[in-house]
């Protein structure tokens, strides 16, 4: 198969099935109650993909293959924040429970009860992330906020980001004033940047493209400080150290991508397991 055909397949597969997800948005703490009834998924039920699948009695390993895309193809992917430009970045994405594009495409095929059990019993961030996406796709933003808040306590940067998105979209679905919730959302994304994800701007542009960060810079900084204090206090209550910065690899490659021409090419590493 040619690289161009593979590229088309990849770009077609990275469609994100997220229909983004009463008090002050500035003072709200992440909800951790995951006891409400679960939303029904599709009849196709699969176990949570938290471990490598078993093929012919053997645990399969990670693919080490990659394909070459030009800059325009990478930038036009529906969810470039899920792509890895190196094996190290693929490992970082896995460590912080970023789903693969394929997992998001088949989000309703995962068993919601299994996902909930994995989150509740094993504090499995990936299970919480997938369950949160299911709930948002079903329009259940309130429940998604609770599930993703619980997943975020594991230290998953992606769960933290999705918790912020779910809170913003819940407010929008309930017809609340958008300004304060956008501020809270942008502060959450800035906190995720401080903790390591240099691609936080992708999510800000997607969910709050008209928010004036320069005008609200002081308020954002105060809110980030409040969130970081809350982050540390919660870790202390749980008897562990607060998660520190864990930089996402390839910051220079991603910045080069922003100004690259169609003649520039980038390696995209396959995060699926075989």
Q: What is the DSSP string of 47-110?
A: ---SSPPEETTEE--B---EEEEEHHHHHTSS-GGG--SSHHHHHHHHHTTPPPHHHHHTGGGB
Q: Tell me the H-state helices in the chain.
A: 3-13, 71-75, 87-95, 101-105, 112-122, 125-137, 141-152, 157-173, 178-195, 200-207, 217-237, 251-259
Contact (Cβ atoms closer than 8 angstroms) between residue 151 and residue 129: yes
pTM for the full predicted model: 0.77
Give the C-alpha distances (Å, rounded to integers) separating 205 from 69, 72, 77, 84, 213: 23, 18, 14, 20, 11
pLDDT given at position 273? 57
CA max distance for the chain: 58
pLDDT given at position 64? 57
Phi, psi for 120 (deg, rounded to 5):
-70, -45
Contact (Cβ atoms closer than 8 angstroms) between residue 89 and residue 253: no
Angle, helices 125-137 vs 157-173, to 10°: value is: 20
The neighbour count for residue 145, using CB atoms within 10 Å, is: 28
The total number of residues written for the chain in this structure: 274
pLDDT given at position 2? 41
Distance CA 57, CA 63 (A): 18
Tens place of pLDDT for every residue, the chain, 274 residues?
444 433 433 444 433 333 333 333 433 444 444 433 333 333 334 544 444 332 332 223 444 578 899 899 999 888 999 999 999 999 999 999 999 989 999 999 999 999 999 999 999 999 999 999 999 999 999 999 999 999 999 999 999 999 999 999 999 999 987 889 999 999 999 999 999 999 999 999 999 999 999 999 999 999 999 998 888 787 777 777 767 789 999 999 999 999 998 889 999 998 875 4
């Amino acid at each position: 198969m040619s690289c161009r055909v593979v590229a088309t397949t990849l770009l077609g597969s990275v469609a994100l099935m997220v229909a983004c997800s009463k008090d002050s948005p500035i003072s709200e703490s992440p909800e951790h109650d995951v006891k409400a009834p679960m939303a029904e998924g599709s009849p196709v039920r699969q176990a949570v993909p938290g471990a490598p699948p078993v093929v012919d009695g053997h645990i399969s390993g990670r693919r080490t293959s990659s394909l070459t895309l030009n800059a325009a193809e990478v930038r036009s992917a529906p969810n470039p924040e899920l792509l890895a430009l190196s094996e190290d970045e693929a490992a970082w994405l896995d460590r912080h429970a970023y789903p693969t594009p394929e997992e998001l495409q088949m989000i309703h095929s995962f068993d919601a009860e299994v996902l909930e059990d994995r989150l509740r019993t094993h504090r499995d961030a990936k299970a919480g992330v997938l369950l949160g996406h299911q709930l948002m796709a079903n329009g259940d933003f309130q429940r998604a906020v609770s599930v993703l808040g619980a997943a975020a306590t594991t230290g998953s940067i992606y769960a933290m980001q999705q918790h912020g998105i779910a809170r913003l979209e819940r407010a929008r679905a309930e017809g609340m004033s958008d300004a304060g919730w956008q501020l809270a959302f942008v502060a959450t994304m800035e906190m995720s940047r401080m903790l390591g994800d240099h691609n936080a701007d992708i999510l800000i542009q997607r969910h709050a493209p008209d928010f004036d960060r320069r005008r609200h810079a002081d308020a954002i900084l105060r809110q980030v400080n409040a969130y970081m204090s809350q982050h540390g206090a919660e870790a202390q209550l749980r008897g562990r150290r607060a998660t520190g910065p864990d930089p996402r690899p390839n910051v220079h490659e991603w910045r080069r991508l922003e100004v690259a021409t169609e003649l520039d090419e980038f390696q995209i590493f396959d995060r699926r397991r075989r």
